[in-house]
Chain A
Amino acid sequence: MTKKRREKREKRRRQASDRVPVPSRRGRRSPVPYVVGAAAALAVVAVVALILVSQLGGDEASAPESPPIWGPSRILGNPDAPVKIVEYADFQCPYCKLVEGKVAQLVQDYVQTGKASLEFRNFAFLGDESVLAAEASLCAEDQGKYGAYHAALFSIQGRENSGVYNTDKLQDLAKEVGLDTATFKDCLTNHRHRQEVLDERQLGRQAGVTSTPYFLVNQTPILGDRPYGDFKKVIDAELQRTSGGGS
Chain B
Amino acid sequence: MTLNARHLGTATAILAAAGIGVSGYLTYTHFADDSVACAVGHGCQTVQQSEYAKLAGIPVALLGALLYVALLGSAATWAARDLWWSGLGAWSLSLTGVGYSAYLTYLEVNVIEAICFWCVTSAVLLAIALGVTSAGLPHMLRDMEEKLGGLMAQDSA
Contacts of B92 in A (CB 8 A): 39-40, 42-43
Which of B8-16, B17-25, B143-151 sits within the interface? B143-151
**B66 adjacent to chain A (CB < 8 Å):** no
A40 touches B95 (CB 8 A): yes
Contacts of A237 in B (CB 8 A): none
Contact at B56–A57, with CB atoms within 8 Å? yes
How far is B102's CA from A44's CA once the two chains are assembled, in angstroms? 12
Task: Tell me what chain A mostly uses at the interface: helix, strand, loop, or mixed.
Answer: helix
Indicate whether A221 reaches chain B with its CB closer than 8 angstroms. Answer: no
Distance, CA A62 to CA B51, complexed state (A): 6
Of the candidates A35, A47, A225, the one whose C-beta lies within 8 Å of that of B45 is A225
Taking CB as reference atom, which chain B residue is nearest A44? Answer: B99
Nearest residue (CB) in B for A46 is: B96
Contact with A along B72-97 (1 / 0, CB 8 A): 00000000000000001101110110
Smallest Cβ distance from A208 to chain B, in angstroms?
Answer: 14
A200 to nearest B CB, angstroms? 24
Tell me whether A51 and B51 are in contact (CB under 8 A).
no
Q: Which chain A residue shows the least CB distance to B30?
A: A227
Give every chain B residue within 8 A of A31 (Cβ-Cβ): 144-145, 148-149, 151-152
Task: Report B33-53 residues with CB < 8 Å from chain A CB.
Answer: 33-35, 42, 45-46, 49, 51-52
Q: Is the CB of B153 within 8 A of A27?
A: yes
Known contacts A23-B156, A227-B34, A227-B35, A36 near B141 by CB under 8 Å: yes
CA distance A183 to B80 in the complex (A): 79
Q: Is A16 interfacial (CB-CB < 8 Å)?
A: no
Contacts of B28 in A (CB 8 A): none
Given A224-B46, A226-B35, A228-B33, answer yes or no on A20-B100 (Cβ-Cβ < 8 Å).
no
How distant is the Cα of A77 from the Cα of B76 in the complex, in angstroms?
Answer: 60
Instruction: Verify B152–A61 contact, CB threshold 8 A.
Output: no
Total number of residue pairs linking A and B with CB closer than 8 Å: 100
- Chain B count of residues within 8 A CB distance of the other chain: 36
Contact between A20 and B34, CB atoms less than 8 A apart: no
A-chain residues with CB within 8 Å of residue B55 when the two chains form the complex: 50, 53-54, 57
Of B137, B144, B151, chain A has the most CB atoms within 10 Å of the CB of B144
Contact-residue bracket for chain A: 35 or more
Are B57 and A57 in contact, CB atoms less than 8 angstroms apart?
yes
- Check if A14 is an interface residue, CB within 8 A of chain B: no
B96–A226 contact, CB under 8 A?
A: no
Point out the residues of chain B lying under 8 angstroms from A228, CB to CB.
Answer: 33
Min CB distance, A107 to chain B, in Å? 19
- Rounded to whole Å, the gap between the CB of B51 and the closest CB of chain A is 4
Give the nearest-CB partner of B147 in chain A: A31
Q: In the complex, which residue of chain B has the Cβ closest to the Cβ of A230?
A: B35
Interface string of B118-141 (1 = CB under 8 A from A): 000000000000000000010001
Instruction: Pick 20 A–B contacts, CB within 8 A, sort by A.
Output: A21-B156, A25-B149, A26-B149, A27-B154, A28-B149, A31-B151, A31-B152, A35-B88, A39-B89, A43-B99, A47-B96, A47-B99, A50-B63, A50-B100, A57-B56, A61-B51, A95-B49, A226-B45, A227-B35, A228-B33
Name A's B-contacting residues (CB within 8 A). 20-21, 23, 25-32, 35-36, 39-40, 42-44, 46-47, 50-51, 53-54, 57-58, 61-62, 95, 98, 223-230
B interface residues with partner A (beta carbon < 8 Å): 33-35, 42, 45-46, 49, 51-52, 54-57, 63, 88-89, 91-93, 95-96, 99-100, 103, 137, 141, 144-145, 148-154, 156
Can you name 5 extra interface pairs (CB under 8 A) apart from A28-B153, A42-B92? A21-B156, A31-B149, A31-B151, A35-B148, A53-B56
